[in-house]
Structure 1
Amino acid sequence: MEQVKVQDKKVYRVQGFTCASCAAKFEGNVKKLPGVRDAQVNFGAAKITVYGEPSIKDLEKAGAFESLKIYPENQDVRMEREPFWKRNEAIQVGVSLALLMIGWLMGKFYGEDSLLSVAFYFLSMLIGGYALFRKGLLNLTRLRFDMYTLMTIAVLGAAFIGEWGEGATVVILFAISEALETYSMNQARQSIRELMDVAPKQALVRREGKEFLIPVDEVQIGDIMIVKPGQKLAMDGVVVKGSSSINQAPITGESIPVTKNVGDQVYAGTINEEGLLEVKVTKRVEDTTIAKIIHLVEEAQAEKAPSQTFVDRFAKIYTPAILMAGFLVAVIPPLLFQADWNDWIYRGLALLVVGCPCALVISTPVSIVTAIGNAARNGVLIKGGIHLEEAGALSVVAFDKTGTLTRGVPVVTDFIPLISDKEKEFLSIAATIEKHSQHPLASAILRKAEEEAVPIREVEDFFSLTGKGVRAKINGIYYYMGSPGLFEELLPAGIPDQTKKRMLDLQQQGKTVMALGTESEMLALIAAADDVRENSKEVIRRLHELGIKKTVMLTGDNRATAEAIGKQLGIGEVQAERLPQDKFEFIKQLRSDGSKVAMVGDGVNDAPALAASTVGIAMGGAGTDSALETADIVLMADDLGKLPFTMQLSRKALQIIKQNITFSLAIKTVALLLIGPGWLTLWMAVFADMGATLIVTLNGLRLLKVKD
């Protein structure tokens, strides 16, 4: 059954959503279509996932109440972005406003209750509120209570008690409020649209010696793609010919171009800045890194954050409660206390208008969609509103050492000749020996020799001394290279005290020390260490500035090395010689007191600890599919510097969500208090609701301005 369900799953893009409640209504309509078993609308990404076989015509019929347009997900359709003033709704509002003004003038000349004045007010209400009445009256017949129902009752009630001018004003202000909500969500979705436009729709491909410009969905794995200077790459692949600098900012957020040579991986949507490249395609268009990012960002925007879930649950109870409260306000004082019917019906209608949950409903989704889109544009993939909120509440950040705080590649930090003026000669001998060695630090010594441009010599005899080092004959002399313990055994008098002191100093700095020498003397000391990333110290400092209370380094490395690096970086606590299971248990222990804990690792070796943390953050997701799939947040570039930006954005998002919810409820409370003494007019009520909607949406859009 599940297999069938997956096979007939189809995803469509939706054009025309104006509000979250409309999206929910559309979802309900689609679920009722024949042959549809289930449907889920993603309002943030303007998509619907359907399990079944409905036609596009059927789907558009289900969305006819909103004039929705439906397109297959992969169809290259330019969504209309015409200015608001050109749309039918805007024209209707304009005509309605003109008729309202004429009605007001007629009222001034002939009296508010004159037939001419009422006629113009009626036409203003009819034209400006046509869409509102259509939705609201339909909801009333189905006993569905939402903001359209509340507004429809309020406007018709105003007309019933003779407040035609106020009824028409409510219609116009509500229409403007709807337009603002639509605009704000379109602005929030802009980040996704920019991502979707990153990769070209065509690729220049060589087949059988001929070059063809073909659509990307026709490019096959194994095709050779030709990328000229200044062009964007259309597909993921591996460079097979040429060398160039690639601007990877659209994928990873890196500001500095990266040099790519033969054998290096490149990504769709990145920009070839210099040389001509030939790239062997390794993924189909739907599997490229940028396609996965877009898909994951859209899915993330569909996931409801805890605050949004609270708002949705609250609104379901709140709206019918407001309707009931409005009814009681309208009828109880006249029935029990012989109050004026018109006055209290008016107050009841004002309660319905001010109780409309527009601002509350839009307050959270606009913030989450904006923040996740902004993060993606800066090379950070946040995989859901829940992770965004939790990242904003973190108090502890734990780091893996190797490959996270450090580069994961050892480098020679010190080469100390024990005989003066012999550095180049001894480095040449060391590199010659290590060229034949399998020792993990051999590559570091060879890189050092290459940097210093020293020659590699001929080896006459090479022998491995298991667990201690190696011996090699060069120019007729036997040289030894290995641990300090090897030379304690070799040298007749052991290692001199002064040399021992120098070695101990290096080891206390967290470095691995090796020695080069002969059977009779030591010639040089070589210290190597895993190179700390340039920005690691700055990242730790900025995290503490942002309010992170505790930073921890978890590593399997020895304690001396770990503590030296921890001290160098300013990390609060160092946990050394920890196996993956130990890291997992330690993260659980950190969380046991209710602390929100992030684990930052490479997404593979640290999988248990990432899973145990409140928020798992993986590095370098652009090259690792597993990181994209497993972590809650992915730093697409192999750049720890994106972490403070992520924390800053998350904290700002959490702050804005709380501000929006608090403000929405506060403005309602104040307006409700004004109903008692009769100070709240209908147009003031809708203006308060519209003002609140405008303020929370603009407040949410401030997240677009958070920069890396």
Structure 2
Amino acid sequence: MQHLDGVVDAKVNFGASKLTVFGSATLEELHEAGAFEKLTIYPEKEKPPAAQKEPFWKRYGLLGLSLLFILGGYIFSKDILFAAAILLGGFPLFKTGLKNLLRLDFDMKTLMTIAIIGAAIIGEWSEGAVVVILFAISEVLEGYSMDKARNSIRSLMEMAPTEAIVVRNGQEVLLKAEDIEVGDIMHVKPGQIIAMDGIIVEGHSSVNQAAITGESVPVEKAVQDEVFAGTLNEEGFLKIKVTRLSDDTTIAKIIHLVEEAQAEKAPSQQFVDRFAKYYTPAIMVVAALVAVVPPLIFSANWSEWIYQGLAVLVVSCPCALVISTPVSIVTAIGNAARNGVLIKGGSYLEELGAVKAIAFDKTGTLTKGVPVVTNFINYSGDENLLTIVAALESMSQHPLASAIIKKAAYLNIENQVEEFSSITGKGIKGLINGIEYRVGNTKLFDSIPREVTEQISFLQNEGKTVMIAGTDKKILALIAVADEVRESSPTVIERLHQLGIQQTILLTGDNKATAAAIGRHVGMNRIEAELLPEDKLDFIKKLKSQFGRVAMVGDGVNDAPALASATVGIAMGGAGTDTALETADIALMNDDLKKLPFTIKLSRKTLQIIKQNIALSLVVKLLALLLVVPGWLTLWIAIFADMGVTLLVTLNGLRLLRVKE
């Protein structure tokens, strides 16, 4: 590829099936330069060309004809029929193998070509023909398996539409996604895919966000709600104001990050690559010695030992070893992306499987991050008291005011507030129907009855923030507000302990009473409260020195330092959140903690399968090589040992597609 005029460099992303060319070259030149066989190259931003299905006879005709010639060769004992089978079935192999041989590039096809030519020279036509057929069949099966692994990215890319209906100069026009600008208004009909990230300005619908979050249950969307490119508008007609360009949409970032992740080499893959670098030339030397030493030193039969040397060459190809890790990583990262978990690289996938302790932020992670009124204790007997408190809070800027307003919204009774004032550090007050009402903490009231004080302490011990409502003479009510714990949090923590996580730790800036109440409720091993961001960072460092590998789960904003310091940083709610996508190593796209045990299970399964694949590749090769000692190694055993194991490790890696929550 790099020898083409105008091409400076070229990189192949094995996992994503993507070729990146630096420089200039036409598609025709690239097709001619690369050994792409039946693959079609097309520009990244275009939809893949419609697959033109080749007739069965054209696709597998040569392979079938080769098989017939082999059968004929065995029936009529004619070497010419085996030679015809070798030429027909091995043509694509020889074409690449001879080209690589001239460049001294000793890959699998080069070694196979040498072995088959050698078999023909020493008169082993039948075995050479069987080797060609077995190799051709395994190539077809391996191509099918790898295509299945890459489908996760392809299905994501197909979810990103290339065009949309946009209003320009009062007219509806169909534009390509890259021509749509921020601020444009898109019209999306029921049943259409939303083409760009944006905010709904008109309409109401349910939107299936499975492409982004992995959650197939549609989400209700109305005016001012955010929607994402690649999601399906199921019911209503929507007008959407575009907020991001096509290259910056959430789905574009996900596709890019998953492609980068699949290209990045995991630690085990780096080991295999280093091993293969020295292994291949060493094996060529061994094969040469096997072919030459017995005839020269022990006067053995030249033909027999050249044959054994060729068999060593075939069986020792590091094909299965080299493919053992990437096929597992590609499949696992693709499966995670389909389930709404974005993993930025094979290294993070491997590290997560070995994590011993997990630290959690509280707000927005274990809790929903939205305060709600949990208790309204009315001492006055006035049914309209809640609306009076809500009217006062509507004038306030206090962060908990929204919870009270929301609680009273269904009552629909309006109260006019006069002479409103905010008292710093204490609360608020104002006149409603000529009576002065107050809402605030204990400092705002002169005397509080003992039973009310006891009730306040009880609620505070449950981790709730308590406000008092009353007049200058009397306490009328207590309002307890809390950030609700996610329904899934206790179950998730229990599941993590079942998976063997030794420590779960709550790290929060909140007060000790609130932290203790939530920590106990969800089942944490350890609770650390009243922490600043730098305190969280220091605590993660201590955990790493104690447990080795530590994960941190947070919202990706104020937890950025701790997320970056942890062995694996996991962000909640990556959908549409740039900070989460940029800061964390793993993002749970739909803000769902239940995805965490799934991701750990997937990570461990991936590690397990990688180890199985490496062990199987080495053990089978070693056993096959031992057959050289008594002279039992044949070319067809060699090809079974090599291509058979390659296919086995590929299929074993594909088992990761079946890992579910």
Q: CA deviation at 1:706?
A: 1.6
* Structure 2 segments unaligned to the other structure (5+ residues): none
Give the match for residue 666 of structure 1: 619
Aligned length: 661
Does the CA-based 8 Å contact 1:184-1:366 persist in structure 2? no
Please name the residue that 1:415 is paired with.
376
State which of 119, 131, 150 in structure 1 corresponds to 2:80.
119
Q: Matches of 1:84 and 1:405 in 2, distance apart?
A: 56
> Match of 2:618, SS?
helix
Corresponding residue for 1:585? 538
Q: Aligned partner of 2:14: which letter?
A: F
SS of the equivalent of 2:627 reads helix
Distance apart, 1:284 and its partner CA: 2.7
The answer to whether structure 1 residue 464 and structure 2 residue 422 are counterparts is yes
Offset at residue 141 of structure 1 (A): 3.0
Matched, 1:564 2:517: yes
**1:338 & 1:589 partners in 2: Cα distance?**
68
Partner of 2:97: 136
> Residue type matched to 2:656 in 1?
L
Shift in Å, 1:84 = 9.5
Which residue, 430, 445, 455 being the options, matches 1:502?
455
Equivalent of 1:478, from 431, 436, 456?
A: 436
Deviations 1:16-44, CA, capped at 9 Å, x for gaps: xxxxxxxxxxxxxx233344333221111
1:91 aligns with 2:50: no
1:296–1:383 contact (8 Å) kept in structure 2: yes
Q: How does 1:404-553 map to 2 (within 5 A)?
A: 404-419=365-380, 421-422=381-382, 424-451=383-410, 453=411, 455-487=413-445, 490-491=446-447, 495-553=448-506
User: 1:4-25: CA deviations, max 9, x gaps?
Assistant: xxxxxxxxxxxxxxxxxxxxxx
* Partner of residue 73 from structure 2, selected from 103, 117, 127: 103
Q: Secondary structure at the match of 1:472?
A: strand
SS in 2 for 1:31: coil
TM-score of the superposed pair, with normalisation by structure 2 = 0.96
The separation in 1 between residues aligned to 2:36 and 2:337, in whole angstroms, is 33
SS of 1:187's partner is helix
Pick one of 624, 635, 642 that aligns with 1:689: 642
Cα distance change on mapping 1:80 and 1:324 into 2, 3 Å: farther
Preserved contact between residue 512 and residue 527 of structure 1 (Cα < 8 Å): yes
Q: Which amino acid is the alignment partner of residue 327 of structure 1?
A: A
Are 1:379 and 1:637, in contact at CA under 8 Å, matched by a contact in 2?
A: yes
Structure 1 residues 86 and 429: alpha-carbon distance in aligned structure 2, compared to 1, 3 A threshold:
farther
SS at match of 1:143: coil
Are 1:541 and 1:570, in contact at CA under 8 Å, matched by a contact in 2?
A: yes
The code of the aligned residue for 1:640 comes to L
Candidates 394, 417, 437, aligned match of 2:355: 394
Q: Aligned-pair distance for 1:578?
A: 1.0
| In 2: Cα distance, 1:84 partner to 1:348 partner | 40
CA deviation profile, 1:501-552 (whole Å, cap 9, x unmatched): 2211111111111111223322211111111111111111222222222111
TM-score (norm. length: structure 1): 0.89
Q: Deviations over 1:263-285 (max 9, x none)?
A: 11111111112211111222232
Amino acid corresponding to residue 552 of structure 1 in structure 2: I
Q: Distance in 2 between matches of 1:348 and 1:257?
A: 62
TM-superposed CA distance for 1:338, in Å, is: 2.3
Alignment of 1:573-652 (within 5 A): 573-593=526-546, 595-652=548-605
Q: Secondary structure at the match of 2:463?
A: coil
Pairwise mapping of residues 137-152 of structure 1 onto structure 2 (< 5 A)? Answer: 137-152=98-113
Following TM superposition, by how much is the alpha carbon of 1:593 offset from its aligned partner in structure 2, in angstroms?
4.0
Show the 5 A alignment for 1:34-433.
34-64=5-35, 66=37, 69-78=40-49, 80=51, 82=53, 85=56, 88=59, 90-107=60-77, 117-419=78-380, 421-422=381-382, 424-433=383-392
Q: Structure 1: how far apart are the matches of 2:55 and 2:492?
A: 44
Q: Is the 8 A contact 1:245 1:257 kept in 2?
A: yes
Question: What's the secondary structure of 1:197's corresponding residue?
Answer: helix
Q: Which amino acid aligns with 1:650?
A: S
Check the 8 A contact 1:412/1:448 in 2, yes or no.
Answer: yes
Offset of 1:187 from its aligned partner? 0.7
CA distance in 2 between counterparts of 1:83 and 1:596 reads 51
**CA shift for structure 1 position 454:** 5.7
AA in 1 matched with 2:83: F
Question: Which residue of the partner structure matches residue 15 of structure 1?
Answer: none
- Aligned-partner residue type, residue 228 of structure 2: Y
Could you report, residue by residue, the CA deviation over 1:85-104 in whole angstroms, capped at 9, with x for unpaired residues?
5554x322221111111111
Q: CA deviation at 1:81?
A: 6.9
Q: Which residues of structure 1 form unaligned runs of 5+?
A: 1-29, 108-116
Structure 1 residues 43, 214: closer, same or farther in 2, change over 3 A? Answer: same
Alignment correspondent of 1:19: none
Cα distance per residue 1:157-190 (max 9 Å; x no partner): 2222222111110111111122222111111111
- Assess, with a 3 A threshold, how the Cα gap between structure 1 residues 393 and 430 changes in structure 2: closer, same or farther: same
Contact 2:356 2:547 in 1 (8 A): no
Query: Contact conserved, 2:212 with 2:231, CA < 8 A, in 1?
Result: yes
Q: CA deviation at 1:600?
A: 1.3
Structure 1 window deviating more from structure 2 (500-509 vs 148-157): it is 148-157
More deviation in 200-209 or 351-360?
200-209
- Paired residues of 1:396 and 1:550 also in contact (CA < 8 A): yes
CA-atom RMSD in angstroms: 2.0
Cα distance between partner residues in 2 of 1:594 and 1:184: 38
Q: Is the 8 A contact 1:243 1:276 kept in 2?
A: yes
Does the CA contact (< 8 Å) of 1:431 and 1:456 recur in 2? no
Partner AA of 1:458 in structure 2:
Q
- The alpha-carbon distance between structure 1 residues 442 and 305, as it changes in their structure 2 partners (threshold 3 A), is same
Tell me, what secondary structure is at the counterpart of 1:457? coil
Q: Distance in 2 between matches of 1:182 and 1:485?
A: 74
| Residue deviations 1:443-482 (CA, integer Å, cap 9, x gap) | 111111124x262322233232221122222223222221
How much has 1:215 moved relative to structure 2? 3.3
| Shift in Å, 1:219 | 2.8
